[in-house]
Amino acid sequence: MEDKTIQPLVSIIIPCYNYGKYIEEAVQSALDQTYENIELIIVNDASTDPFTIDILEKLNHHSKLTIIHHESNKKLPAARNTAIKAASGKYILPIDADDKVDRTIVEKTVEVLEERADVGFVSVGIQYFGAINKVSIPSPFNLKTLLYRNIVSVTSLFRKEAWEQVGGYNEKFIYGYEDWEFWLNLAKHGWHGVLIKEPLFHYRKHGKSMIDDAVKKHLKIVSQIINIHSELYNETKITHEEENLIKR
C-alpha cells in the first residue's frame, strides 16, 4: 500500500447495544488492519448491561478510538448515523459489535474506491462463524438483483460523500434491512457497487438477532422498501418470478 501520509482516512464505525461480550473481538479485528490510516468510532446506544459499560470504558483509552454515548436507545440505523456524522474519514466501514473483519478488508476495498470514481460501495464475501461455519460469496452487484435480494453485505466500505448525498441510513428501519434500503438508495443516486469475491467479513451466527426479526417481519419491511423506492421498481422490468422472490 501507499505511504500512510497519503492514504485516505477510513472511519470504522461500530454501534453497540449490550454487546460487551463480543465487542473487544470486533475492535481488535478493526485495529489489526494492514491499512494504517484508520479511526475507530463506537456508538454506545444507551447500553444497560454493566459488563458492556465496563468493557467500553476499558476500550476508551485507545488512541485511535472514540466512543460516543447515546442518552437513549435510538436503534441501529441512528447509531450508525451518529458515528458517521462524527467521522473524519473519506470512507466508512460499518461493523456490528458481534462481528469481525479480515485484516486486509480495508486495504482491498479502499483500493477499489480509489481507482474507480463511479463506485460508491465495495462489498465482500462472508465467512459465517459461531453456530454456523461456512463461506458465502454473494452475486456481483446488479441493480435488478438488488431490487429483490440484498446482495451487498452490511459490512461494506462506502464513500462518506455518498452517505451524505442520500441522507444516511433510514432511521425508520429499526427491525432490519436498513442496509438493503441504504444500498438501494445509493444505487438510485447513481452509485455503482463492486464485489470482492473473498470472505473478508466475518459474520457471527448465534441465537436471536436483528436478522431473525427482519425475517419474521419480511413482508412488512419489503413493502416499506418498495414504497420508498417505487420509481426503481416501476422503471426496472421485474419478472413475476422475481416479484415473488422479493416477498419470500
In the chain, domain spans: 4-246
Q: Exposed (0-12), middle (13-18) or buried (19+): which is 228, by Cβ within 10 Å?
A: middle
Report which of 219, 152, 206, 210 is spatially closest to residue 176, judged by C-alpha positions.
210
DSSP 175: T
pLDDT class of 218 with cuts at 50, 70, 90: confident
**Using one digit for the tens of pLDDT, what is the confidence trace for 8-60?**
999 999 999 999 999 999 999 999 999 999 999 999 999 999 999 999 999 99
pLDDT at 241: 56
Convert the pLDDT of each residue in 106-144 to its tens digit.
Answer: 999 999 999 999 999 999 999 999 999 999 999 999 998
Question: How many Cα atoms within 13 Å fall on the side-chain side of residue 104?
Answer: 10
N-to-C CA span, the chain: 43
Q: How far is CA 223 from the centre of its chain?
A: 22
Q: What pLDDT, on a 0 to 100 scale, did the predictor assign at position 236? A: 75
Asked whether the predicted pLDDT for residue 175 surpasses 90, the reply is no
Q: Grid cell 436471536 — which residue?
A: 208
As a whole number, mean pLDDT of residues 211-238 equals 78
The pLDDT of residue 148 = 87
Give the chain's mean pLDDT.
92
Q: Which residue has the higher pLDDT, 23 or 239?
A: 23
pLDDT at residue 238 above 90? Answer: no
Q: Which CATH architecture has domain 4-246?
A: Alpha-Beta Complex (3.90)
Report the pLDDT value the prediction gives residue 246, as an integer from 0 to 100: 58
Mean pLDDT over 195-219 rounds to: 80
C-alpha cell at position 13 = 464505525
